[in-house]
Amino acid sequence: MVECGAGGIDGGFPACAAGTGLEGARLSVVTVPGVGECQVHGRVTLDVTRGLRCPECGAPTPTLVQGDALELDELELAEPDLEDV
């Protein structure tokens, strides 16, 4: 798992959008906590600064249940200003 954090996505978006129809668009990122499966404690919320380890006992949590996906939830497009066309 590579953790870049929301800041990495936010920071790279303007550069990737430059020169495209998305230039000037605003990106809103919602971070979802990682959830792992500990053999002793079951499902636990992970602290990614500690890696994939159970916050209760420190055991490796090889099964990541939630927190490794990137999902586009909504896209809003503005109407072009016809006077500028």
54 near 40, Cβ under 8 Å? Answer: yes
pTM beyond 0.95, yes or no:
no
Give me the pLDDT at residue 82, please. Answer: 67
Q: In whole angstroms, give the CA distance from residue 23 to residue 33.
A: 29
Give me the pLDDT at residue 42, please. Answer: 92
Going from N- to C-terminal start, the domains of the chain cover 1-30, 32-68
Average per-residue pLDDT for the chain = 79
Low-confidence ranges of the chain (pLDDT < 50): 1-4
